[in-house]
Chains A and B, each alone.
Chain A
C-alpha cells in the first residue's frame, strides 16, 4: 500500500496536493480531492468506461481487436481529403504534439476546445495585451478577487478554498483582508461564501458591457457616477466596486464563461482587458490581472504546444504537410460542411455543439479516441479506448494560470489499452 501526493486531473485547477492510497492495481482512497476529482479517479472502474475497440458494422457498434480498428481508421483517413481533428483538451501535451503532427501528415484541420471557450480571451489579448497571474500569487498576495460571470464554487470547487480562504505566506490573516466581488445575473453558490466586506452584484443579464464602459469612463475621469446606477446595480454598489478596483494592491479578475459571448455587438473581453490595462496605468499602488476559468484540464496546453511548435495557437490548417493561413475555426468548418471525416480525441462535441452542427458532424464518419461513453461514442464509426491521463499514463499539462505541471502514472492500464500518445503514434506509423 503506497500513499503519496499526486496531481489531480479532474479540472483545470490541477490540485497538486491530493493524497491517494493505492496498491498498484486499484486506488483505494482519495484524500483531499473534491467531488469532481473523486469522480475522475472513479472513472477507472466506472461502467461508462470503454474497454474494447469498437467498429460500426451494419449500423451497430461491435467489438473488434485493436488492429481491426486501426485498419478501419486508416481506411477512413485514406478515403478522405479534408479530415477534421478536434478535441485534445483532455490529453497530455505530448499527445497534443503528436495530434498536430498527424494533422500535418494527413493534411487536415486541427482545433481544440479552447476555440469555443477561453481561447477567445487569448486571441483578443493579441490586440489589447493581457496581464496574467498565477494561483500562487493569488494565494500569497491577492487582496481583491472578482468572479465575473463565473460560478467558481461549483465549477472549480477548490478554487475559492485556495485563493480566498488560504492565509498565504506574507499575511497570516487570510480571509479577513481578501475582498470577494461576485458579478453574476443569478445568485449562484459562490454568493454563499460572502462576508460583510464583500460585494455581491446581481447584474442584468447581457448588460456587462454597459458596466465595463461606465467603469472605464470613471477610471479616466473621476466624473460623477450615474445616480440611477447601471445594469441593475445601484450607485452605492458602483462606488464601492470602483473604490475596490482602484484601491486594490493585487487584484485578480476571474473571467468566466458568462463573458465570452459578445453583447450588443461588441466584444466584452476586449473592453474588459482594456479596463484592466487602464486600471494598471492609472493605479500607483498595485496591479490588476486576469485569470481565465476554463473547464478542461489541459486546454491551455494546446495553445502553448501549437504556438511554440507551429506559430499559431489554434485552428491549424495543413496543406502539402505545411501550415497554411486560414481564418476558419472548427465551428465555421462544420457549418460549411468543409470536411469529410472527423477524428475526435477526448471530448464530446455531439453533446457540446448545437443541434444543427451536431447533425452535420454526424453525417460524416467519426473516429473517436476516448475512455468513456458519451453522446459521441454512440454515433462514432470507430472507437479506440485510451488510458485516463493523470492516472494510467503521465504527461505534461498546463494549469489555468499557464504553469506547466507533470502528471504521474499511478496504476497500470487494463490490457491492450494504450495512451492517447501511443494510439496516435500507431496511426501515423501505419499511414507513412
Chain B
C-alpha cells in the first residue's frame, strides 16, 4: 500500500500488470522496475518517481547485495539452520529426518556444520536470490536460530 500511494492510480494499462495495484505488488516482489511505468516518467510525477526510487532503493544501477551473516561466537552448532533451510531439504535427503547432510557437500547445499560452528557454503542458491514470488521472502534460518546468530541483510 505504501508503494501504491506514489503511483499515478490512473490504471492507464500502459504497463504489464495493467492496474496500478497489481503494479505495486509486482514492484514489491521485484518482478518490475519503477521505470516500467510510463506515466511516472512524465515531469508532473517527478516527485513520486523520486520517492519510489528512494523507497525501493536499489532497483537499478547499484543493486543491494544479499548477505547472510553467521556470528561464530554465538553459534553452538545445533544445526537447526541446516535442517530448516528449504534448499537443503530439497537437495540433501538426510536433513529430512534431522540428520547431518552427506560430505562432501552437495553443490546446492546452503549451510553446513563444521567443527561445531555453522558455515555458509553457497549463498547463490538461497531462496532470496533463486526463487520467485512469496518464496523470495524466506527467512526461516534467521527466525528459528535459538541463539540469534544468523542475520539476513542487504548491503
Which A residues contact B (CB, under 8 angstroms)? 3, 15, 17-19, 29-39, 139-140, 153-154, 157-158, 160-163, 165-169, 172, 175, 189-190, 192-193, 195
Contact = CB atoms under 8 A, between A and B. Distances in A.
A17 B77 contact: no
A162 B103 contact: no
Interface stretch (B4-12, B17-25, B57-65, B144-152): B144-152
23 contacts: A29-B115, A32-B79, A33-B77, A34-B116, A35-B75, A35-B76, A36-B76, A38-B77, A38-B115, A139-B98, A140-B97, A153-B78, A153-B146, A154-B146, A157-B78, A166-B95, A166-B96, A168-B96, A169-B97, A172-B96, A192-B146, A193-B80, A195-B144
Contact of B147 (A161, A162, A166, A189): A189
B98 A166 contact: yes
Contacts of B114: 29-31
A153 B149 CA distance: 13
Contacts of A39: 116
A165 B83 contact: yes
A35 B83 contact: no
Interface residues of B, number: 32
Interface string B102-117: 1100000000111111
B38 interface: no
Given A34-B113, A166-B97, A190 B83 contact: no
Contacts of A162: 83, 98-99
A290 B39 CA distance: 65
Contacts of A169: 97
Interface string B81-107: 011100001000011111111110000
B97 A167 contact: yes
Given A3-B103, A19-B103, A35-B116, A192 B78 contact: no
A193 B116 contact: no
Given A38-B77, A153-B146, A166 B83 contact: yes
Given A31-B103, A34-B78, A167-B89, A161 B117 contact: no
Given A19-B103, A162-B83, 5 more contacts: A29-B114, A31-B113, A34-B77, A153-B78, A166-B97
